[in-house]
Amino acid sequence: MKRSTEEYQRKAAWISVALLRWFRTAARPMAWRETRDPYRIWVSEIMLQQTRVETVAPYYDRFLLKFPDMRSLAAAPIDVVLKAWEGLGYYSRARNLHRAAGILVSCHGAKVPRTVEELEALPGIGRSTAGAIAAIAFGADVPILDSNARRVVARLFAVEGDPRSSAVENVLWGQSARLVRKGKGRDTALAVMDLGAVVCLPNAPRCRECPLRSRCSSRLRGLQDSIPPKRAKKAIPHHDVVAAVFRRADGALFLMRRLSDGLLGGLWAFPSGRRDPGETLEDALRRSLREKLRVRAVIQREVGAVRHAYSHYRITLHGFLCRTTGGDLPAGGGTGWLPGHGEGMLALPRADRKLVELIHREEER
């Protein structure tokens, strides 16, 4: 047992030297790597959760123009924060970022904490994001285990099994920690991320170009295509969703705020509902309006349909122009009017934004 641990340590030491040597010439340029401002690094790491670097880049710049520091973020209304996040998806990240900024301004002098433990205590920050922030912003010698690191480490040490099971994950954390040399936490974290992003790719690892190929256990045993095991692809469900378009004389459109703890939480959307099996679109809409708004409405005509794929399902959103015939549309609270030109501070889900654009195009014809 002792010998095997020493072997692992020798191997990890060799790998970390080779990895850092490779990183010195292969590091990917990114705006958030040009700063040591912990606030900016924190924002970037939250945006990078489940989102690609190329997608994040323009959002990162715009977000920091609007909220250049922790205090400006904490002081902003949540609608303004969600608007800046609109289109980036996984909106709980924006809500948690905003909540965390409020906590840090109140209790931590508006400073990003330095330790993994303190970072993990904030909303929206798990162990790997905490490690990445601590390592990149403060140079802490701590491991990370984001999706790239998970794959790279599993392959380097030929760790078989589901990397998301807690037993395998524990092993991966241990191996990831072995790669961190004293004083090299920042570069190690970034190097592992980059190797996973450009060389040790999920489906076709480029082992011939890899600086670690001579010590990679998966490559040496021909297991690089089966570690980590491929997950069976789940069928992505499709739903027909009906939306009521209430339009004022000045062109403003009636919207409702989605519950803050649900999917697309806190965003503004047309009153809508999912069509049940066997229901017509019109019946589904009348039912939804009764249930959600307690109004009766005449459906005047369909204004169009838009399709959108979210991460776990796809929808076709059918928009119907409506007029109330019994009861008034609720005012205030979780309802609002999107001005006719469609801008303003309200953040909409992508499908609803597409429907707004469709309505405006129709008006212009």
Residue ranges in contact with ligand SF4 by CB under 6 A: 152, 155-156, 199-200, 205-207, 210, 212-213, 216, 218-219, 224
Question: CB of 127: closest distance to ligand SF4 in angstroms?
Answer: 22
Question: Residue 222 and residue 2: Cα distance in Å, rounded?
Answer: 27
Task: Name which of 168 and 345 has its Cβ closer to ligand SF4.
Answer: 168
Q: How many CB atoms lie within 10 A of CB 59?
A: 18
Cβ 151 vs Cβ 163: under 8 Å:
yes
How far separated are the first and last CA of the chain, in Å rounded? 76
Cβ 257 vs Cβ 335: under 8 Å:
yes
Question: Residue 233 and residue 333: Cα distance in Å, rounded?
Answer: 41
Cβ 275 vs Cβ 240: under 8 Å:
yes
Tell me whether residue 331 is exposed, middle or buried, using C-beta atoms within 10 angstroms of its C-beta: 0 to 12, 13 to 18, 19 or more: exposed
- 79-81-351 Cα angle (round to 5): 70
Question: CB of 44: closest distance to ligand SF4 in angstroms?
Answer: 25
Task: Name which of 49 and 224 has its Cβ closer to ligand SF4.
Answer: 224
- Give DSSP secondary structure letters for 224-281: TTTSSPPPPPPPPPEEEEEEEE-B-TTS-EEEEEPPTTSTTTT-EE-SEEEPPTT--H
Cβ 313 vs Cβ 238: under 8 Å:
yes
- Of the candidates 6, 7, 45, 364, the residue annotated as catalytic is 45
201 alpha-carbon distance from chain centroid: 20
| Helices (H) then strands (E): counts for the chain | 14, 7
Q: Residue 233 half-sphere exposure, CB side, CA atoms within 13 Å?
A: 5
Question: CB of 225: closest distance to ligand SF4 in angstroms?
Answer: 9
> Which residue type, as a one-letter code, is found at position 121?
A
Task: Name which of 102 and 174 has its Cβ closer to ligand SF4.
Answer: 174
Question: CB of 190: closest distance to ligand SF4 in angstroms?
Answer: 16
Task: Name which of 78 and 207 has its Cβ closer to ligand SF4.
Answer: 207
Question: CB of 279: closest distance to ligand SF4 in angstroms?
Answer: 50
Question: CB of 144: closest distance to ligand SF4 in angstroms?
Answer: 16
Question: CB of 162: closest distance to ligand SF4 in angstroms?
Answer: 18
Q: Quick check: is 45 catalytic? A: yes
Q: Residue 162 half-sphere exposure, CB side, CA atoms within 13 Å?
A: 5
Task: Name which of 148 and 288 has its Cβ closer to ligand SF4.
Answer: 148
Task: Name which of 206 and 323 has its Cβ closer to ligand SF4.
Answer: 206
Task: Name which of 165 and 226 has its Cβ closer to ligand SF4.
Answer: 226
Active site residues: 45
